[in-house]
Amino acid sequence: MFGWDPPGGSGTGIKVARNRSRMRKKSHPERTPSEKLLTVKEFESHLDKLDNEKKDLIQSDISALHHFYSKHLEFPDQESLVALFAQVNCNGFTIEDEELSHLGSAIFPDVALMNHSCCPNVIVTYKGTLAEVRAVQEIGPGDEVFTSYIDLLYPTEDRNDRLRDSYFFTCECQECTTKDKDKAKVKIRKLNDPPKAEAIRDMVRYARNVIEEFRRAKHYKYILDSCGRSPARGAGELGQELNVVDVLLSKTTENGSLKVLILGHYFGHTPPSELLEICELSQEKMSSVFEDSNVYMLHMMYQAMGVCLYIQDWEGALRYGQKIIKPYSKHYPLYSLNVASMWLKLGRLYMGLENRAAGEKALRKAMAIMEVAHGKDHPYISEIKQEIESH
């Protein structure tokens, strides 16, 4: 049972309630089921901290909303919409399927009360329109409940850059304080002539830039997909979207041509084969300094695996997945959905390539994690069991 207990001098948080009466005191029956403790209008928006890029992206979201739904809905005024989008950006949840493919976004006000930690003690999963919170560590009465707002694969500096950019705070959890995993996450290749510190810094900067271009391009694709549209469109529909492209291209980097190619893929202009080549060339460049288990290498392998799946190169996707899974299991926390989804992908690839023994083993590894994260009665668990039995 969770209760609302804002820590002194900090943001809101959720602690495990010592008794049920504490929850009842904060319950408001007239609200929606997900607003017992906090309403949407009480969300923090951080409007005063938004830079011009974020403001422009919000304006693009609002333009898309008006363009596609103005005939069916009455909208609040512009100022209220800007605040609402800013609130959702800071407090919303990304809904994904069992393989972590993006399905959409949602808001669960009560769940949004949980603070972030890079050592989370709960995982949030979804069943239909419900958000479910399950413990993945022992949590005692009075302990605060922490979830993770971001992908935890990356080293401390990268995680905190992302947290500051999206949520406007710096994490001070044990993981961020000790940085114990950073050396393994950014492992340097052992060479007879070790790379100099400057070469390592340059390669880290290159890797971060490439990752950022993929993230921006995917965010743009999400804007289109959220409106039910294909990235490939007629010329008459491009007007408002060019504003988004201008925003995405506005931050120049040393990888200008790379940025255009990545964006081009999500527009439908760059063939998948070229995107795969980008991933492979990036891996080749980074491998002169980084070990294969380095998280920046893993990021590009994951992107390459995704392209292989898209073009139905099952053997290629399997090869990348086999390289990824062991370091993923080391870098991510216990019961990570990222690890579960990779085992799931591998299991389905093995099954499709008629390697039943390896496929069943991988699917059972995925299921062992998902039974904790999703619950044994979740439809995803039933589906995986059926997959195993049907083969």
* 352 and 313 both lie in a single domain: no
* 144 and 87 both lie in a single domain: yes
CATH no. for residue 341? 1.25.40
- Find all residues with CB under 8 Å of 68, minimum gap 6, and list them: 227, 228
Query: Which ranges in the chain belong to alpha helices (H)?
Result: 20-25, 52-69, 78-91, 156-167, 174-178, 182-185, 197-226, 239-250, 256-267, 272-286, 295-310, 314-331, 337-352, 356-373, 379-390
* 135 and 272 both lie in a single domain: no
Residue 67 lies in a domain: yes
* 339 and 309 both lie in a single domain: no
CA atoms of 278 and 264, how far apart (whole Å):
12
- Residue 252 pLDDT: 40
* 314 and 338 both lie in a single domain: no
* Final residue in a domain of this structure, among 290, 321, 352: 321
* 251 and 382 both lie in a single domain: no
| Count of domains observed in the chain | 3
Residue 45 lies in a domain: yes
* 316 and 203 both lie in a single domain: yes
* 307 and 340 both lie in a single domain: no
Residue 113 lies in a domain: yes
Domain of residue 298: give its range.
187-321
CATH no. for residue 127? 2.170.270.10
* 367 and 257 both lie in a single domain: no
Closest CA to 152 of 135, 125, 127, 173: 173
CA atoms of 320 and 215, how far apart (whole Å):
20
> What pTM was estimated for this model as a whole?
0.81
- Residue 13 pLDDT: 62
DSSP three-state, residue 92: coil
* 336 and 264 both lie in a single domain: no
* 10-residue stretch averages of pLDDT, the chain, 391 residues long: 38 48 39 74 91 91 85 86 93 91 88 95 94 95 96 98 96 97 97 94 95 74 52 40 42 47 51 88 96 98 94 97 98 97 98 97 98 96 95 73
The two tokens of residue 272 are: 């998948």
* 136 and 18 both lie in a single domain: yes
* Final residue in a domain of this structure, among 122, 149, 176: 149
CA atoms of 229 and 243, how far apart (whole Å):
17
* 315 and 354 both lie in a single domain: no
